[in-house]
Chains A and B, each alone.
Chain A
Amino acid sequence: MLLNLRRWMLAAGLGVASLGLTGPAAAQETTFVFATSEVGVSSYNPIPATLTNAAFSMIYDTLVVQDSDLSYHPSLAESWEEAPDGMAWTFHLKPGVTFHNGRPFNAATVVKWIDLFRGSENSYMIDAVASVEAVDDLTVRFVMKNPDPNLLFNLSSSFMGIPDPEAVAELGEDFGITEAIGTGPFKLESFTQGQETVLVRNDDYTWGSPLSANKGPAHIARITFREIAEDSTAYLELKSGGVDALMSIPTDYLGEIKAEPELAVAEMPGQEVFYMAINVAKDPFTDLKVRQAAALAINQKEILDNVFGGYGKEAHNFLISALPESKLPADADISYDPAKAAALLDEAGWVLGADGVRAKDGQRLSVALWTQSDSIFRRLTEVVQAELKAVGIEAKITTFDSSTIKDEFKSGNQQLAVRSYFWPNADIVDWFFSAERLGYPNTSMFNDPKAEELRVKAMTGSATQEERIANFTAYHEYVTRQFPYAPIYQPVQNMAYNIDRIEMPAEIHATQITGVVMVDVKVKE
C-alpha cells in the first residue's frame, strides 16, 4: 500500500514536472522579470503614464537616446541642431520609419504627438516648448518659450516614447492596454496587468540606433516580461530556471548570484545616490559647523565595503558621478575626516562628555535620525549611527515606512534622515533643495537666497548645454558647501541572467536595459 502510494506520488510528480518545466523550446523565446521598482504599470500609453517599465522603450522609440555615459545619440531623429540663443531646436527625422500598424512616422506625427502631450500628466516636460512645426516631411522644429538645454534629456525619457497619435485617438482609454502602437523593435502581443507583458519582434525594424550593434530586427522573437514584486521569489525563479533574467537585483543577492555557476550579473552605471539629509532649520544643525561635522563623520569607504559588499561607489557629493555637474572642485567634495569633524564640534562649543557624547550649555548633542523600514536602509542607518557616535553625536533612529516618511517630512521635525533618490539629471538638486518645496521633497528645509539665485539661473537661465552644466555645477557646489546633506553611497544597477540561456552584449550602451540593448540580446539554443 505504502509502496503503491509512493509510486503514485512519483508518477504524479513527474507528470507535473513535465507539464511545468516545458520551457520555451521554440527559437529565440525568453522570459525576463521586470525590475521590482517597475511592477504595477497600468497601461503602455506613455503620454499619461506615471510609471513606466523597460518594455516601453522596446515598444516605442524616442527621438534621441542616452548612452551609459549620459551622452545623447540619434534614434528617430538622425541629427539635430540647437539655435545659438537656444530658442529653437531642429530635428531631422530618419526616413522610412513606420509604426507597428504600417502608418509612416514623419514630421506631422511629431507635431500631433506633442499636441497630445500637452495637458497630460507629463506636460511639464515640454513646458519650455512654445510650438512644434513641420518644416518638411522629415524636419521638425521646436520653437521655445525659453531656452531649455534639458530638452534632449526629456526627449530621451521613456515617457517621451512616440506612439502613433492616430491610434491613441482611435483607441482612447484602451490604447496601451489592448494595443500599443509604436515604432520600436518589439510589438505588444498581450498585457495582463500586474502579471505579464508579452512582446514579439517587429520584423520591419531597420532603424536601430548607433548605440546598438544590430540595426535590424531583434534576435529575440518573443519575450515575456513577468511582474514579481517579491525579490526572493524572483531570485528563486531565476535559480530554478523558470525565468532567464531579472532586470533588477538587490545588492544583498549579489554574492549568492555570483556563486551560482550558471548565473551572471551585468552591471550598468548607477543612477541612485544614498545620502543623509541634514535639516538646516533645526538646532543644532542651524550651525554650519555642526552640519559639516556630521557630514565629515560619514565613512563612505567603510559603508561601501561593509554594508554593500564593495559593490558600487562612494558618493562625495549629491550627483551620480556619470553627470558632468558632479565634477566639483576637490575641496568642495565631502569625504570622511573624523579629526576635522571633532575639531569643528570643539570650535562650535560642543565639548566631549564622559559618556562619549558631546554637550554644550548642559545640552547633550543628541539628535533624531530618520530612516525607512526597508532592510537596506535599516542596516545602513545603524552604521551611520555608529559613525556619528564616533565623533560624539548621539543619533536616535526612528523608522517609518517609505510612503509615511514623506508625510512626516512635511512637518519639518526631522533632524537627520538617511535617504536615497534615483535620477540621472542635475535638476535633482533643484528638486531636493529648492525653497519652493520645503519639507518634502526639500527635507533639509534648505532656504538660502544665494542658492535660490543660482538655482533659478541653472533652471531657466541657460541657453546651451555647456551653460547649463556650468550653472548647475555652480549651484550644486554652493549647496554642497552649505552641508544640507552628507553624501554616502552610489549603487550600481545590476541585472542577473542565466548564461546557459542568454547572451548579453559585451557592453551596455544605455542607462538601463532598454530597446537599444534588447535588440542585441540573443537566446542560446
Chain B
Amino acid sequence: MITYLTRRLLLLIPVFVAVSVVIFLILHLIPGDPLDNLLRVGSSPEKRAEMSARYGLDRPLVVQYGIWLGNLLQGDLGTSIASRRPVASLIGQALPHSLLLGALALAFSTLAGVALGVAAAIWRDRWADRLIMGGVLLGSTLPSFWMGLLFILAFSVQLGWFPVSGARGWESLVLPVLTIGLGGTALVARVARVAMIDAAERDFVLLLHAKGMPPGRIRLNHVLRHAMIPVVTILSLRIGWILGGAVTVEYVFARPGLGTTLIKALSQHDYPVVQACLLMLAMAVMLGTLLGDVVQALMDPRVRREAA
C-alpha cells in the first residue's frame, strides 16, 4: 500500500508541471491585457510602460513562466494585478467558502442519491422508478446557472423560504447546495440503483430469502451494504470536482468563493489570480482522484493486492 501511495504521489509531480504549463500558456496566449482595465482615461503611454515593467509583463513569456513557477514552488502565489493584494490572501479568503459549499453539496448528493437510487431499485420498472430516474436525469442535465435562477424564482421570490443570494447564515446555503448537488445526485442515484438491482440478484441473497430472513432486513443489512462499493467509488472520484461545480453557482448566488474570484479575475485578465484559482481547481481534481483510487484500493481486496 505504501509503495502504491508513494508511486501515485510521485506521478503527481509531472502532472502538476504539465498542468502549470497549460494554465500559464492558455492564459497568456488568449488575447487581452490586464493593463487595459487598469489604465483610465487620461493616463499616458509612459504610465503604461511603467506599469508593464512593474508587473513583469514586458518580459519574454518563458521568463515570466519561470519566475511564476519559481515563486510558486516557494509557496508564493504572487500579487494580484488588479487589486495589488497578495494572491494567497485572496485565495485564503475564498477557498473556505467554496470548500464548505462543495462539501455540503457532496453530502447532499450522497444522501439524496442513495435514497432515490434505493427507492428506484425497490420499485424497479414501476412508475415510481421511472419518475425518480426521469426527474433525476432532467435535474442533472439542466445547466446549473439556469437551475439556480429557477430555484431562486420558486423558493425565494414565490415562496419566500430562502434568501435570494448572499452568504449570511445557513439558510443562504440551501439553494446553492441544492443547485450544485443535483448533478451528483443523479450520478449517485443511477449507480446506487444499478448496484442494488445487481446485488439483489446475487446467490447469497437468494440464500437469505431461502433461510426466511425478512425482505426488509435483507435489503438493509446485506444488499445495500454490498451495493455501496460502487457508490463509494463514484463519490470519492467526485471529491475532486467539488470546487469546479461551485464556480457558476457562486456567481449566480453572489456568494464569495473561488468561483466568484476566478470570474472577476478572468474579466480583468488578472493573470496571477486566475492562475492560482485554476491551479487550486486542478489540484483538487488531482488529489480527489488520488483519494478516490486509494479508497477503492482499501475497500476492494483485489485492487489492494494488485497495488501492492
A-to-B contact residues, CB < 8 Å: 13, 16-17, 19-21, 39-40, 42-43, 48, 50-51, 121, 124-125, 192-196, 226-230, 232-234, 236-237, 239-240, 242, 402-404, 406-408, 423, 425, 427-428, 431, 436-437, 440
Contacts and interface: CB of A to CB of B under 8 A. Distances in A.
B76 to A, nearest CB: 17
A403 B83 contact: no
B164 A195 contact: no
Contacts of B43: 124
Interface in B30-45: 30-33, 36-38, 40-45
B128 interface: no
B302 interface: no
B264 interface: yes
A193 B93 contact: yes
Contacts of B156: 236, 240, 242
14 contacts: A17-B159, A19-B171, A20-B171, A21-B163, A40-B268, A121-B38, A125-B42, A193-B256, A233-B165, A236-B149, A236-B157, A407-B33, A423-B41, A427-B42
Contact of B83 (A42, A404, A427): A42
Interface stretch (B55-63, B113-121, B247-255, B289-297): B247-255
B263 interface: yes
Given A194-B261, A240-B156, A406 B44 contact: no
A320 to B, nearest CB: 13
A50 B253 contact: no
A19 B42 contact: no
B42 A431 contact: yes
Interface in B248-292: 251-254, 256, 260-261, 263-264, 267-269
B254 A21 contact: no
Given A20-B171, A227-B254, A240 B32 contact: no
B47 interface: yes
Contact of A50 (B30, B33, B38): B38
Contacts of A431: 41-42
A229 B157 contact: no
Given A236-B164, A427-B41, 18 more contacts: A16-B162, A16-B174, A17-B159, A19-B169, A20-B162, A20-B163, A50-B82, A124-B47, A125-B42, A194-B256, A195-B256, A227-B254, A236-B165, A402-B267, A403-B267, A404-B32, A406-B33, A436-B45
B58 to A, nearest CB: 15
Contacts of B82: 40, 42, 50-51
Contacts of B21: none
B84 interface: yes
A408 B31 contact: yes
A316 to B, nearest CB: 22
Interface of B: 30-33, 36-38, 40-45, 47, 80, 82-85, 93, 149, 152-153, 156-157, 159-167, 169, 171-172, 174, 251-254, 256, 260-261, 263-264, 267-269
Nearest to B32: A403
Given A50-B38, A124-B44, A17 B268 contact: no
Nearest to B171: A20
Contact of B149 (A233, A428, A440): A233
Instruction: Select the residue from A13, A124, A192 with max chain B CB neighbours within 10 A.
Output: A124
Given A39-B264, A237-B164, A226 B254 contact: yes
A407 B57 CA distance: 14
Contacts of A239: 157
A437 B37 CA distance: 15
Nearest to B41: A431
A478 to B, nearest CB: 20
Contacts of A428: 41
A240 B37 contact: no
Given A229-B264, A233-B252, A427-B42, A13 B161 contact: yes
Given A50-B82, A124-B43, A423-B41, A242 B163 contact: yes
A20 B161 contact: yes
Q: Which 8 A-B pairs have the closest CB atoms?
A: A42-B83, A407-B31, A228-B254, A406-B36, A237-B164, A403-B32, A240-B157, A431-B41
Given A13-B159, A427-B41, A427-B42, A230 B252 contact: yes
B241 to A, nearest CB: 22
Given A192-B256, A233-B165, A425-B41, A16 B171 contact: yes
B45 A407 contact: no
A437 B251 contact: no
Instruction: Select the residue from A226, A242, A425, A428 with max chain B CB neighbours within 10 A.
Output: A242
Contact of A230 (B161, B251, B268): B251
A406 B166 CA distance: 32
Contacts of A236: 149, 152-153, 156-157, 164-165
Nearest to B165: A233
Nearest to A239: B157
A404 B34 CA distance: 10
Contacts of A42: 80, 82-85
A25 B259 CA distance: 33
A16 B85 CA distance: 38
